[in-house]
Amino acid sequence: MSVIYRSAAGEREIRRRYREALEAWPVPAEQVRVPTREGETFVLVCGPEDAPPVVLLHGSGADSSVWAGDAPTWSRHLRMYAVDLVGEPGLSAPARPALDSDAVALWLDDVMAGLGLSRAAFVGMSLGGWTALDHAIRRPGRVERLALVCPGGIGRQTPLRMAPAMAWTPFGRWGRLRSVRAVLGLHEPEHAPLVRDVAAVFGEFRPRTETLPVFSDAALRGLDMPVLAVMGGKDVMIDSADTARRLRAHVPHADVTVLPGVGHAVIGQGPAVLDFLRG
């Protein structure tokens, strides 16, 4: 059993559900395993081989199945490389490179080399947004365009806002469901299946708990590629107003949108992100 899971049975169940999602992937795709300094990294690849490449980085407690809804549209125009972050509940190695170093960028260097990519657009959500932004800051020549969805590393994390939502976690499955709804901001009946899936994962998965390093003003000012950022105005994990303020101040060419009434789960932005990626 990997140390990132609470039990061997839980690990098997999470992997089983993910493999079912991969089998149901809506377009033809290739499953690639790339050797890296952090261990094997799983990448789902789809779209025309000669289309512009885009590297997709999911958030904490997730896997590349989060891109399934966008794949039918995006893969008509882009070569999609959906990367399972190491240390998360996908099919990549359980390693967790230090966030306060260049270790994550070095891991992504290996991933891109293994995929034969010298340059690509990047889309990242939450922890994946932090990862994409870290790479854009450390490797600016390799990032064609940068799309960030509820990204970490810009606005302050807000543990005091999180505390009331997380207070229900110890109360079994019911408590986890309530906490997930509150954290993600998903309260409508149509979101119930997604809430159940996320709650099931976090019942068996041990997420990273360290505070995400915040990028400096100078680092943000160095972003010269096109940047899109979309976040929820009621995000209890990250101060979205602070994220928007810093981006507008230090990355004035960025297209920044704060969605009123939306929590940490930003849903339905696929068309806008595709328009941005296509330029």
Query: Does pLDDT of 163 surpass 80?
Result: no
Lowest mean pLDDT, pick from 23-27, 133-137, 185-189: 185-189
| Residue 170 domain flag | no
The pLDDT score that the predictor gives to residue 150 is 96
Domains: count for the chain: 1
Other C-beta atoms lying within 10 Å of the C-beta of residue 266:
20
| Helix 103-115 vs helix 127-138: crossing angle, to nearest 10 | 80
| Residue 44 domain flag | yes
Q: Which helix (H) or strand (E) holds 200?
A: helix 192-202
The pLDDT score that the predictor gives to residue 171 is 65
| Residue 201 domain flag | no
Query: Does pLDDT of 240 surpass 80?
Result: yes
- Whole-number Å distance between alpha carbons of 261 and 275: 23
If you average pLDDT over every residue of the chain, what do you get? 93
The pLDDT score that the predictor gives to residue 137 is 98
The pLDDT score that the predictor gives to residue 21 is 95
Q: Which domain holds residue 137?
A: 8-158+209-278
Q: Where are the alpha helices (DSSP H) in 41-96?
A: 71-74
The CATH number given to whatever domain includes residue 17 is 3.40.50.1820
The pLDDT score that the predictor gives to residue 173 is 77
* Bridge partners for 42 per DSSP: 33
Report residue 182: phi and psi, to 5°.
-70, -45
Q: What sign does the CA torsion over 167, 169, 172, 178 have?
A: positive
| Residue 130 domain flag | yes
The pair of structure tokens assigned to 139 is 């490797």
Looking at residues 253-278, what average pLDDT do you find?
96
| Residue 194 domain flag | no
Report which of 217, 199, 83, 79 is spatially closest to residue 155, judged by C-alpha positions: 217
| Residue 183 domain flag | no
Q: What sign does the CA torsion over 241, 246, 248, 254 have?
A: negative
Q: Where are the alpha helices (DSSP H) in 24-154?
A: 71-74, 103-115, 127-138
- Whole-number Å distance between alpha carbons of 261 and 136: 29
The pair of structure tokens assigned to 170 is 């110890």
Report which of 99, 69, 100 is spatially closest to residue 82, judged by C-alpha positions: 69
Query: Does pLDDT of 1 surpass 60?
Result: no
The pLDDT score that the predictor gives to residue 184 is 83
The pLDDT score that the predictor gives to residue 242 is 97
Looking at residues 56-85, what average pLDDT do you find?
97
210-221 pLDDT tens trace: 999 999 999 999
Is the backbone of residue 101 left (phi > 0), alpha (psi -120 to 50) or beta? beta
| Residue 180 domain flag | no
Query: Does pLDDT of 142 surpass 60?
Result: yes
How does 105-137 read in b/e, with b if 16+ C-beta sit within 10 Å? Answer: bbbbbebbebbeeeebbbbbbbbbbbbbbbbbb
Looking at residues 234-254, what average pLDDT do you find?
96
168 band by pLDDT with thresholds 50, 70 and 90? low
Looking at residues 106-117, what average pLDDT do you find?
98
Lowest mean pLDDT, pick from 7-21, 67-81, 183-197: 183-197
- pTM for this structure? 0.95
Is the backbone of residue 20 left (phi > 0), alpha (psi -120 to 50) or beta? alpha
Residues in CB range of 52: below 8 A, 6 or more apart: 77, 78, 79, 120, 121, 144, 277
| Residue 166 domain flag | no
